[in-house]
């Protein structure tokens, strides 16, 4: 047996340790409480321990769209779940048969397990081949282990870790106090300890200093960057301007996943100029600065279809009326229009909440009454729209499904359509679209809610 789905239980772990001498991968499916000491009791042959399911499913999700037909989640959490599934699908699995039997753990995904930095320290200390440790207390654990030696300029080790998960926010404390949750220099130490890291997830709040992210510019490569603000509406010290040097350093040098959530003063032009190699882009609840060249939303500064590799786009409006949540046309033209060279958009997942399209952009992408209503996204698997009042069921049938118009055949890639609070798409329209798809021999799940 090389793979096991198990309960996180001491008796079971002891049994597995003595009987399963060839075990390579473990996914924890049930757990009453997290006991970190059990990790070191696993057989030495185990390379991957997954409390989330993400590692186990990499590259193997033939049908990633799992949802409750009768009681689907509200738009935002469901969209996030499906986006994650699509991203997992794109991640190739690791062949653990190539690892040494004495290698011990190489990947541990603790997801949202309630673990402290103290719980993570034994993993870091006893798994020398560890290259992935997913938990927001990871950088805190590294800091507690090595900060004293680092400050005294003593010798410190180098880790093979490819990710840095860091939490500068106060959400881990029950009371607010002047004491740092994580010192501002923690990321500098983490970059020194883990020079090969190329996946960075950061969580921060209103009190996080603006310069804590600068050490990331010195990484050799950054492939995935996620920044999430957990502020309760207060103005933050750290904003998009503090992330610009990171995008300038890595945007054209390997960055393929960018996620910004509840970030203030995002300037779209910076992303277009520096991050055109992105495969996945998430902008959720952000506030934007409209560049002076886009004052009339008629910017012609950039080529259409600049993001030639983009496969997933997630744009969700925020609910803070003190911010400008509209993005200029140049953003939609760069992400949703085909390039002049390829004449094709590679998007597989498109998730939009209140996108505020101009009439020109809407006509180009969705309007079925245009002169040549061709299929807009021939590789699209998922379209999930919320509060997109302009869209009609005819637009979807022509431009997304490819059922009529100038299309030679329907969109065979399409698997799921979701319309939430879209004024011109009612449940009856969803049923009508379903009948059209049946005639076109399309098997697509559709959900419409008011």
> What are the backbone dihedrals phi and psi of residue 129, each rounded to the nearest 5 degrees, phi first?
-100, 10
The whole-model pTM stands at 0.93
Angle in degrees, CA 345, 349, 354, rounded to 5: 100
Half-sphere exposure (Cβ direction) of 171: Cα atoms closer than 13 Å: 16
Residue 70 has pLDDT above 80, yes or no: no
Strands (E), 128-177: 132-134, 163-167
Q: How far is CA 356 from CA 34, 310, 326, 336, in A?
A: 45, 21, 7, 14
Residue 138 has pLDDT above 50, yes or no: yes
* Mean pLDDT score, 65-72: 63
Whole-angstrom Cα distance, residue 332 to residue 363? 12
pLDDT at residue 405, as a whole number: 57
The pLDDT-based confidence of 112 (bands split at 50, 70, 90) is: confident
Q: Which residues pair with 384 in a beta bridge?
A: 351, 418
Residue 197 has pLDDT above 90, yes or no: yes
Could you count the other beta carbons within 10 Å of the beta carbon of residue 8?
A: 20
Residue with token string 């207390």: 137
Residue 172 has pLDDT above 60, yes or no: no
Whole-angstrom Cα distance, residue 382 to residue 35? 39
Residue % of the chain over a pLDDT of 70: 88
> What are the backbone dihedrals phi and psi of residue 27, each rounded to the nearest 5 degrees, phi first?
-115, 125
User: Helix or strand or coil: residue 347?
Assistant: coil
Structure tokens at 435: 């009948």
Residue 403 has pLDDT above 50, yes or no: yes
Whole-angstrom Cα distance, residue 122 to residue 104? 13
Could you count the other beta carbons within 10 Å of the beta carbon of residue 366?
A: 23
The DSSP call for residue 338 is P
Q: Are 293 and 302 in contact (CB under 8 A)?
A: no
Structure tokens at 146: 């090595």
Structure tokens at 235: 């103005």
Mean pLDDT is lowest, of 199-203, 230-234, 280-284, 390-394, for 230-234
pLDDT in tens, 27-39: 999 998 899 999 9
pLDDT at residue 363, as a whole number: 92
Beta carbons within 8 Å of 27's beta carbon, 6+ residues apart: 3, 4, 5, 6, 50, 51, 53, 55, 56
pLDDT at residue 174, as a whole number: 46
């Amino acid at each position: 047996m090389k793979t096991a789905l198990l309960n996180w239980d001491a008796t079971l772990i002891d049994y597995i340790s003595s009987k399963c001498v060839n075990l390579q991968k473990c996914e924890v499916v049930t757990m009453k409480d997290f006991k970190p000491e059990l990790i070191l009791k696993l057989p030495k042959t185990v390379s991957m321990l997954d409390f989330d399911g993400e590692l186990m499913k990499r590259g193997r999700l033939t049908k990633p769209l799992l949802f409750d037909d009768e009681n689907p989640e509200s738009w935002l959490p469901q969209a996030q779940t499906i986006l994650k599934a699509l991203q997992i699908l794109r991640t190739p699995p690791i062949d653990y048969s190539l690892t040494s039997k004495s290698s011990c753990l190489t990947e541990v995904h603790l997801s949202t397990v309630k673990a402290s930095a103290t719980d993570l320290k034994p993993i870091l200390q006893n798994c020398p081949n560890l290259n992935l440790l997913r938990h927001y207390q990871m950088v805190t654990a590294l800091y507690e282990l090595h900060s004293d030696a680092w400050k005294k300029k003593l010798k410190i080790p180098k880790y093979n870790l490819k990710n840095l998960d860091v939490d500068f926010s106060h959400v881990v404390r029950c009371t607010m106090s002047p004491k740092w949750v994580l010192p501002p220099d923690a990321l500098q130490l983490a970059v020194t300890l883990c020079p090969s890291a190329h996946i960075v997830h950061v969580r921060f709040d209103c009190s996080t200093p603006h310069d804590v992210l600068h050490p990331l510019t010195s990484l050799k490569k950054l492939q995935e960057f996620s920044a999430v603000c957990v502020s309760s509406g207060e103005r933050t010290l750290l904003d998009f301007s503090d992330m610009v040097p990171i995008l300038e350093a890595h945007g054209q040098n390997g960055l393929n996943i960018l996620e910004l959530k509840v970030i203030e003063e995002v300037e779209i032009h910076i992303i277009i100029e520096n991050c055109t190699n992105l495969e996945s882009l998430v902008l959720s609840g952000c506030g934007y600065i409209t560049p002076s060249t886009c004052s009339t939303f008629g910017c012609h500064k950039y080529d259409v279809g600049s993001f030639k590799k983009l496969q997933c786009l997630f744009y969700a409006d925020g609910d803070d009326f003190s911010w400008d949540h509209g993005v200029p046309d140049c953003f939609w033209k760069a992400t949703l229009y085909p390039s002049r060279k390829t004449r094709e958009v590679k998007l597989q997942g498109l998730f939009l909440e209140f996108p505020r399209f101009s009439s020109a952009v809407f006509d180009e992408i969705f309007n079925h009454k245009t002169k040549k209503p061709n299929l807009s996204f021939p590789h699209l698997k998922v379209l999930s729209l919320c509060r997109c009042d302009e869209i009609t069921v005819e637009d979807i049938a022509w431009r997304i499904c490819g059922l009529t118009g100038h299309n030679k055949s329907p969109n065979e890639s399409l698997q799921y359509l979701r319309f939430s609070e879209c004024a011109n798409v009612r449940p009856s329209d969803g049923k009508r679209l379903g009948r059209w798809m049946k005639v076109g021999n399309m098997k697509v799940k559709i959900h419409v809610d008011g």
